Amino acid sequence: MTESTFTPRVFSGIKPSGGLTLGNYLGAIKRFVGMQGKVETIYCVVDLHAITVWQDPAQLANMTREVAAGYLAAGLDPTQSILFNQSQVSGHAELGWIFNCVARVGWMNRMTQFKDKAGSNAEKVSLGLYAYPSLMAADILLYHATQVPVGEDQKQHVELTRDIAAKFNHDFKTDFFPITEPVIDGPATRVMNLRDGTKKMSKSGESDMERINMTDDATTIAKKFKKAKTDPAPLPETVEGLATRPEARNLVEIYAALEDTTPEAVIAQYPGAGWGTFKPALADLAVAKLAPISDEMARLMNDPAEIDRILGKGSEKARAIAEPILKKTYEIVGLLRS
């Protein structure tokens, strides 16, 4: 079997480790919706990944539901995409273990996200945080997924997934796992922090002013964009003028992604505009696009049983794809089934 003989299938996931941000929406969810209906799509709430750092057990289920509500509110349709949470399909953990025995410690040591998260505290973080990329490879390869839409920050993990698939295929003299492609396209694959354009916007940043949350109301969104850090110069006349201006570039890219256009087109619309013009326009656009989604998320969160039902059904569908792949993997590795 060669790469091209695998049926095209998309898999991606989001951790329920905090509220969803504009980065998750533009870098992931909006692009997930764009792929739906064109190819088989599987989208997961990766709760087993969330617990690599401490999660309050009383909150975790609700955060899992909130990510699911974000998927649904943004336009993922459970009749067109498989939507489920990872821990309901035990194959993720099982294949993750097998991949722990394929991946090399040296590979994990090169993971920049682990280094960033562990910082100077690497001895004290969980073993799960260290092994996280091999569980991520299992998420993807348990479904023989061929494409993985992610933001720029996950590129290295998808490359590791390719290395794990290639080593497994090589060690066991098979071509069982596909060599998955990361899909990192569009204007906002790395949405930056609103207070520091050199840092990624993340769920866990210190100040709430750094990020737009998908549940922020209109006033809060407007305030955060108004206070977003910029340099004093107005917008340039061409996109090249953004190259050395990270904060300005970020706001233009956010505008472009929300509007489904390119940074070039945004600059053409606002050449030389001052921040007093551009920031309110950006805030209005963000409110227009995000308010219907956050309203729908709130509505869905009022009916947790319905979200649980959707995730339960999605898990059944996911299991039906995963089980034969896991069974065959066990056979290839030589694990006795009796």
Contact residues toward ligand TYM (CB under 6 A) are 11-15, 23-24, 27-28, 46, 49, 136, 139-140, 148, 150-151, 153-154, 157, 189-191, 200-202
CA 10 to chain centre: 13
Nearer to ligand TYM, 182 or 234 (CB): 182
| Smallest separation (angstroms) from ligand TYM to the CB of 202 | 6
Give the three-state DSSP class for 15. Answer: coil
- Name which of 14 and 283 has its Cβ closer to ligand TYM: 14
Please pick, among 15, 30, 200, 279, the residue that the annotation labels catalytic.
Answer: 200
Q: In the complex with ligand TYM, which residue's Cβ is closer, 75 or 273?
A: 75
For ligand TYM, give the closer residue by CB, 29 or 287. 29
Least distance from ligand TYM to the Cβ atom of residue 137, Å:
8
Contact assessment for residue 39 and residue 9, using Cβ atoms and an 8 Å cutoff: yes
Please, what is the minimum distance in Å from the beta carbon of residue 42 to ligand TYM?
Answer: 10
203, 223, 313, 317: the active-site residue? 203
**Smallest separation, CB 211 to ligand TYM (Å):** 8
CA distance 68 to 71: 5
Can 226 be counted among the known catalytic residues? no
Alpha-carbon distances of 173 from 1, 104, 162, 166, 333, rounded to whole Å = 12, 18, 16, 10, 11
CB of 274 to ligand TYM, least distance (A): 26
Q: 115 catalytic, yes or no?
A: no
Burial of 276 (0-12, 13-18, 19+ CB in 10 A): exposed
Closer CB to ligand TYM, residue 153 or residue 175? 153
Nearer to ligand TYM, 81 or 234 (CB): 81
Residue 32 Cβ, how far from ligand TYM at the closest point, in Å? 9
CB-based closest residue to ligand TYM: 27
124 is catalytic: no
Catalytic residues: 117, 200, 203
